[in-house]
Structure 1
Amino acid sequence: MVATPRVSTPVGRRAAPGRKRKVAPGGKRSWAGWRFVGPFLAVFALVFLAPVVYSVHLSLFRTRLVGGTAFVGADNYLAALADPQFWSAFGNVTLFLVVQVPIMLFLSLLVALAIDSGRLYGTSFFRISVFLPYAVPAVVATLMWGFMYGDRFGLVGNLNETFGLSLPDPLSADLILASIGNIVTWEFVGYNMLILYSALRVVNPSLYEAAEIDGASQLRIVYAIKLPALRGALLIATIFSIIGSFQLFNEPSILKTLAPNAITTYLTPNLYAYSLSFDGQRFDYSATVAIVMGVITMIIAYVVQLRGMRKEDRS
């Protein structure tokens, strides 16, 4: 019998069982992976982490007319949580989310199913036409719709004058959220349609063939095959839409010049934070409002994702 020599491991450097340390040829550790991800990490730290850290730093201080800037800890956060204007703005975007997002996703789903059905003439042209509004910058889209909304200078005003109608003003305080919702829906139906349509394109064609052999109708195929295949894509589109709704800023900010009486500084949380920072010079409290809104958005998006994943696991 030949004795197997023991290989001694230096004290303090024992390797975990079953794992080998990856070492580059020559016995030196390789940094090639870090060189690949280094540029991304540098940009990520510069444009994301640094502003977040600076915002947190600002939110912990308060600038007074007498006494200058002083550390206040969580006082700004307590003030934001008790601020009625902040909660009014949060209520507006929540209402916007509850009404606009389901309508937008339903329209996107209908368009995706229609394109995937193969019974639509000019499928490529129709797909590009629906997606084209997403390529229009938000500023251009909002100005275009804003001038059409005008009851004195736009399409609504022309219809009232030509046909003797009295259509309600889309830029009034009662309808401004619905008007913004129409703009956002027009912009993002094509974007969400592309997400859903891409998910439909990876469905195994043999499932459709088996369903046709069994005599399943088109509605049955949609309900039993296509909709289950779209659960993950619908979850992603829903999370993106939730985040976008809570970040609503461009459309009301641009429409404010056309409807100054309808759009207040606390119509949305981002508009409120912008007004605090650039109009009121309250940078510390503006940063606090932005952080609170970011945390709320993150929590809601996480809960929606968690519930969606649980439903998908059950099925």
Structure 2
Amino acid sequence: MSSSIRRRSYGVKAAPYGFLAPAVVLFSLFFALPIGYAVWLSFRRIEVKGLGLGKGARDEVWAGLSHYTAALTDAELGHGALRVLGYGLIVVPVMLGLALLFALLLDAERVRGRSFSRLAIFLPYAIPGVIAALLWGFLYLPDVSPFHYVLDTAGLPGPELLHGGGLYAAMANIAVWGGTGFNMIVIYTSLRSIPAEVYEAAKLDGATPLQIALRIKIPMVAPSLVLTFFFSVIATLQVFSEPTTLKPLTNAMSTTWSPLMKVYNDAFVGGNVYAASATAVVLALATFALSFALLRVANSGTRKGGAR
């Protein structure tokens, strides 16, 4: 009897590990293992002997930190990072500002069609980024865009959205159109969790809807704003599908417009997966460091605001 109870207790203790095992296996195979392999490749290189023909003429040897040195001193990678920085300075404030505005409007008392509006704002997020970039890309082309046709008919000049500074606005529009709905849902869900008694007390004190929004709602959803800001920064640093999809439509965009495009170009066009792996590791570490720093600053500001 005691051995049966002991086996049953062991089974109860081992049950959580059994439930976790599939997730751990999948995480190891499809996340940890590829990252470890990329780090390993970043320290390797191909050494060619003679003409590089025949068996043993090309060997994979230790490269040390040479790929990392090349990545950190690569001017093209630096220019791509600056372009992404300019792109992010447009996308993140506009997207989060619209998401907060829509969430506050949907949370207002006298709103009609709340369910339809919420679905309509969120729906673009369900469209894959490549499809969204293709749709907007053809709307930007003067020869096929209905907007340019209407402007030409009215005798007005059409904007150049695939050249120069307009290219940043064109790409930012795609990101804002697709990402605002997700951020709005996160903020709106946080707004709906605020107790109604808080609003009632504010109304009794004579607060207007605008004052309630500015002094109660926005401070109380600050953690959600920090979360959406964190996600938006990461997504901006990893921009790839939009510029890659728009690249065939314009000559103003290079194959290394963003850092991830350079990684792709080095690995699959140049055939140098070793240098591309080192660049990818550098970008991952930079993204982690920047995101961690921003999160610490945002959380510090949130705690100070809550203390007041």
Per the normalisation by structure 1, the TM-score is 0.89
Aligned-partner residue type, residue 57 of structure 1: W
Give unpaired runs (5+ residues) of structure 1.
1-23
Shift of 1:161: 3.0
Name the amino acid aligned to 1:42: V
The residue identity in structure 2 corresponding to 1:38 is: A
The Cα of 1:68 is off from its aligned counterpart by 3.6
In the alignment, is the contact (CA less than 8 A) between 1:149 and 1:155 conserved in 2? no
Is 2:250 the partner of 1:270?
no
Query: By how many angstroms is 1:62 displaced?
Result: 1.7
1:134 to partner: Cα distance = 0.7
The amino acid of 1:195's aligned partner reads: V
Among candidates 21, 30, 41, match of residue 24 of structure 2:
41
Task: Report whether the alignment pairs 1:155 with 2:162.
Answer: no
1:115-130 correspondence to structure 2 within 5 Å: 115-130=106-121
**1:141 and 2:132 are equivalent in the alignment:** yes
Instruction: Return closer, same or farther for 1:210/1:80 CA change in 2, 3 Å cut-off.
Output: same
Stretch deviating more after TM superposition (25-34 or 81-90) = 25-34
Choose which of 274, 293, 304 in structure 1 pairs with 2:283.
293
Once the two structures are TM-superposed, the CA of residue 160 in structure 1 deviates from its matched residue by 4.3
Q: 1:64 to 1:85 in 2, by over 3 A?
A: farther
Distance (whole Å) between structure 2 residues aligned to residue 159 and residue 54 of structure 1: 53
Change over 3 Å in CA distance of 1:181–1:65 after alignment to 2: farther
> What amino acid is the match of 1:54?
Y
CA-CA distance at 1:146 after TM superposition:
0.5
Partner of 2:35: 52
In structure 2, what is the equivalent of residue 26 of structure 1?
Answer: 6
Taking the aligned partners of 2:37 and 2:290, their CA distance within structure 1 comes to 24
Aligned to 1:111: 102
Q: What is the DSSP-based 3-state SS (H/G/I as helix, E as strand, rest coil) of the residue aligned with 1:256?
A: helix
Question: SS in structure 1 opposite 2:60?
Answer: strand
Which of 87, 93, 97 is residue 84 of structure 2 equivalent to?
93
**Residue number among 195, 207, 215 corresponding to 1:216 in the alignment:** 207
Q: Distance in 1 between matches of 2:281 and 2:166?
A: 29
Give, in angstroms, the shift of residue 156 of structure 1. 4.4
Letter matched to residue 69 of structure 1:
E
Q: Percent identity?
A: 33
Under a length normalisation based on structure 2, what TM-score does the superposition of the two structures give? 0.90
Cα displacement (A) at 1:226: 0.2
Shift of 1:65: 4.1
Aligned counterpart, 1:18: none
Query: C-alpha root-mean-square deviation of aligned residues, in Å?
Result: 1.6
Q: Does 1:183 align with 2:174?
A: yes
Q: Distance in 1 between matches of 2:121 and 2:218?
A: 21
1:185 CA drift (Å) = 0.2
User: Is the 2:152–2:158 Cα contact (8 Å) retained in structure 1?
Assistant: no
Deviations 1:281-306 (A, max 9, x none): 01011111111111111111111111
| In 1: Cα distance, 2:209 partner to 2:142 partner | 44
What is the aligned partner in structure 1 of residue 301 from structure 2? Answer: 311
Q: What's the secondary structure of 2:45's corresponding residue?
A: strand
Give the superposition deviation at 1:64: 4.2
Q: Is the 8 A contact 2:247 2:255 kept in 1?
A: no
Residue 273 (structure 2) aligned to one of 246, 262, 283 = 283
Q: Which residue of 2 aligns with 1:69?
A: 60
Name the structure with the higher helix share. Answer: 2
- Does structure 2 conserve the Cα–Cα contact (< 8 Å) formed by 1:199 and 1:230? yes
How many equivalent pairs are there? 291
Deviates more, 1:91-100 or 1:240-249: 91-100
Query: How much has 1:222 moved relative to structure 2?
Result: 1.1
Question: Structure 2: 5+ residue runs without aligned partners?
Answer: 50-57
C-alpha separation between the residues in 2 aligned to 1:213 and 1:141?
Answer: 47
- SS, match of residue 257 in structure 1: helix
User: Partners of 2:95 and 2:212 in 1: how far apart?
Assistant: 23
